[in-house]
Amino acid sequence: MIKITLEDIEKVMNQAGVDYKAAKEALLKASGDADLDGEENYGFSEGSVY
């Protein structure tokens, strides 16, 4: 089971500019790793609306 903390979700939300649901889904796809080496956008394209 992947452990995702609220802090991880907030970090993705702030860095990628997405909402809670999109941030959580991105973390699940990244196996819960909020520190993706150089992957600052977590797979979101710039200017995308989620």
In a domain, 37, yes or no: no
pLDDT per residue as tens digits for the range 9-42: 999 999 999 999 999 999 988 876 666 544 455 5
Q: Minimal CA–CA distance to 26: which of 8, 1, 47, 46?
A: 8
Per-residue pLDDT at 7 exceeds 80: yes
Does this model's pTM top 0.75? no
Q: Which domain holds residue 22?
A: 1-31
Whether the CB-CB separation of 36 and 8 falls below 8 Å is answered with no
Task: Supply φ then ψ for residue 47, to 5 degrees.
Answer: 85, 0
Q: 46 in a domain, yes or no?
A: no
Residue 24 lies in a domain: yes
Domain count, the chain: 1
What is the per-residue pLDDT for 2? 78
In a domain, 43, yes or no: no
Question: Which residue carries 């196996």 as its tokens?
Answer: 31
- At 38-47, the pLDDT tens digits run 445 555 555 4
Ranges of H-type helices in 1-50: 6-16, 20-29
Q: Is residue 38 part of a domain?
A: no
Is there a domain that residue 40 lies in? Answer: no
Position 44 in a domain: no
